[in-house]
Amino acid sequence: MEMKKVNAGALGLLGSIMLLGVLCFALYATFASVHYRWNWQSLWEYRMQFLHGWLTTLIISGGAMFVSIILGFALMLGCRSILQPVRFFCTGTVEIVRGSPLLVQLLIGYYVIATAVGVSDPTLVGTLLLGLFEAAYLAEIFRGAVESIGRSQWEASKAVGFDKAQTYRFVIIPQAVRRALPGTTGELVSLIKSSSLLSVIGIEELVQKVRVMNSASYTALEGYLPLAIAYLVVTLPLSWTARRLEQKFTYET
């Protein structure tokens, strides 16, 4: 039994590696068939620029994730408020932010609103705007998760004497987290990639750096492969961690 399990695991791993190998070969063959001439040398000189861009992307994404989770949670609560004005305001915010292009929000947010209130640091403003944008999506994911918890759990919470805050804290959120995880992970991965748009307000994040590198070193596509890998280095562990968390929170039948 145990032996069979090990064998199945090893076979699965071997199969995955072979598939990956086939994919890499196909990619290589595709580039070869269009006679692409690689020029890695000139690109190598700009490696520090690349690293700098990567770090910028990481910092902004990390900050925006933090903002989006906190703000998304607050918006979710607002959308469920018993006070009608609060509910309208939060639902309206979600709809407007979710329904309009991030590009427009960044341009207006930075050049008009941030200038008007006297904030000029593009990294700060960009992080906040990106966080707000993703918060609108997260709010709906959180709301779906919270509303999927049945009425009977609310009633049972009240029956044991919990007030509203205690019900959220002890009963609803612990169960909702599990249900919100897959959607939230997808949204956070998407956030990391959306951070490339921040170049429009003058932030030199990873994609922008690669564009600059490519034009400076007269290469066309060389920068983009490391670019994809640099993103995957962050997004894959994120997805993996989320999977692990999901397993940890499995308790229902």
Q: Single out the residue of 73, 57, 65 nearest to residue 128, CA to CA.
A: 65
Which residue among 61, 91, 105, 175 contacts other proteins (CB under 8 A)?
175
Q: What is the DSSP letter of 100?
A: S
Nearest CB to other proteins, comparing residues 93 and 157? 157
121 contributes a contact to other proteins by CB under 8 A: no
Q: Which residues contact 174 (CB under 8 A, 6 or more apart)?
A: none
Mark residues 155-174: x for contact with other proteins by CB under 8 A, - for none.
xx-xxxxxx--x---xx--x
Nearest CB to other proteins, comparing residues 176 and 227? 176
* Total of residues contacting other proteins (CB under 8 A): 20
Closest distance to other proteins from the beta carbon of 35 (Å) = 59
Half-sphere exposure of 246 (CA within 13 A, CB side): 13
Report CA-CA distances (Å) from 206 to 198, 199, 223: 10, 9, 10
Helix (H) or strand (E) holding 23: helix 2-33
Residue list 210-249, contact with other proteins (CB under 8 A): 249
Q: Single out the residue of 46, 104, 35, 97 nearest to residue 67, CA to CA.
A: 97
Closest distance to other proteins from the beta carbon of 158 (Å) = 6
Q: List residues near other proteins by CB under 8 A.
A: 152-153, 155-156, 158-163, 166, 170-171, 174-175, 178, 249, 251-253
